[in-house]
Amino acid sequence: MSIFKKQESYWASRFEDDDVLVHLPYCKTTSKHSDDTQHQNYIYKPLSADVSHKIKTMSRNTPMAIYTILLTGVQCLLYKYTNENKMIIGIPTMEERKNDLSLSNKVLILKNNIDHAISFKSLFNQVKTRLTEAIQHQRIPFRKMVEHLNVQYDSNHSPLIHTLVSLNEIHPILDEKSVKAATVFHFDLENDFVHLKLLYDEDRYDRDYMVQVAEHLDQLLSVVLNQPDLELSQVDMLSELHRNKLLFDFNDTTVGYPQNKTLHQLFEEQVEQTPDHPAVIFENKQLTYRELNQQSNQLARTLQAQGVQAGQFVGIMAERSLEMIVGLFGILKAGELMFQSIQNIRQIVFTISLRIQK
């Protein structure tokens, strides 16, 4: 069998008809540009000192090993964002000698299988194997390589690769005529740090989103490089600072309110201020503050007429509705305690000796 036939057979065995290229979820669904020109921007981020040191130590500072670690990290990140089990992304071809003109294509497609139970260490070994195989079978036209993969092309016949990962020390620079990618994770080794230049299509993503992606990659690597056997499902991409911001800063809903007034008294003050404004909306129906106040007052009087005393339990068995809100305020106005239930009503009646009123 000829070398070409062997390579063709390899790529045919790698892909299935339903395979698709993986990309980060888009921020924007429509482009403001009508042409094929890609409007690219980028953010620049040095990985943390700890992550950079770990990568260089684990790789013994060899570029190919560094690239394999980073390539594995990006695929872990993509899985966390997309939950795709078939991780299919683009990588540049490897020139065996400078300005190697015998390479007809500039991009290889790498496919790895990933799930929530896999560890970084296991995925790294898989990526290492697939990367070696891909490089050994890179001398084949791109269209033949992706014959069984749904790859789109622009009007200039450039393939549209959603995600590309490259390392400056081992890969040639790809121009837009060779390939287009929605995101390019381009790494560079400079001094003691690994630097990330994250290029992105402005028609698909915004800058803040890409900053978040870069931060998440750095945090993910800090976890998996220190705990390589940890299952991917257990990897947290949020830093302590970001977690505290989400849990406490963004969730700080504390507001001042009068300590000597009840909830329904505060509600009645709002009725006086905005009687005809919508107070509660459910599906295509609504009640104004005035209407809600009138109906809840009527219910409160009915409860009192039934002999219900202040401090007694009054239950509401109801789905979400306008009437449920009327019931809640009516019970409060009558001075009773309330609970809402849809399930286990018999157990609740037995526990608190609730009287059932129709």
pLDDT digits (tens, 9 = 90+) for 94-106: 875 555 545 567 8
Pairing state between β 278-282 and 160-167: unpaired
- Look up the domain containing 46 and give its range: 3-26+38-238
- CA dist 139 and 275 (Å) reads 76
One domain, residues 269 and 322:
yes
Confirm if 324 and 316 have CB atoms less than 8 A apart.
yes
Q: Ranked by mean pLDDT, which of 36-45, 114-123, 253-262, 270-279 comes out on top?
A: 114-123
**Residue 104 is assigned to a structural domain of this protein:** yes
Q: Would you state the pLDDT for residue 344?
A: 46
Confirm if 162 and 21 have CB atoms less than 8 A apart.
yes
**Residue 69 is assigned to a structural domain of this protein:** yes
Burial class (CB in 10 A: 0-12, 13-18, 19+), 272: exposed
pLDDT digits (tens, 9 = 90+) for 26-61: 987 665 555 556 688 999 999 999 999 999 999 999
One domain, residues 51 and 198:
yes
Which of these ranges, 59-63, 115-119, 134-138, 248-252, has the smallest mean pLDDT?
A: 248-252
Q: Would you state the pLDDT for residue 94?
A: 85
Q: Would you state the pLDDT for residue 189?
A: 94
Entry field: residues in the chain? 358
User: Residue 348 pLDDT > 50, yes or no?
Assistant: no
> What are 251's two structure tokens?
């969730």
What's this model's pTM, rounded to 2 decimal places?
A: 0.68
One domain, residues 299 and 170:
no
At residue 35, the 3 state secondary structure works out as coil
> Per-residue DSSP letters for 126-192?
HHHHHHHHHHHT--S-HHHHTTTS---B-TT--BEEEEEEEETTTSPPPPTTT-EEEEEEEEEEETT
Number of domains forming the structure of the chain: 2
The string over 168-199, giving b where at least 16 C-beta atoms fall within 10 Å of a residue's C-beta and e elsewhere, is beebbebeeebbbbbbbbbbebeeebbbbbbb
- CA dist 350 and 347 (Å) reads 5
Instruction: Identify the residue whose tokens are 């790529």.
Output: 11
One domain, residues 212 and 320:
no
One domain, residues 57 and 105:
yes
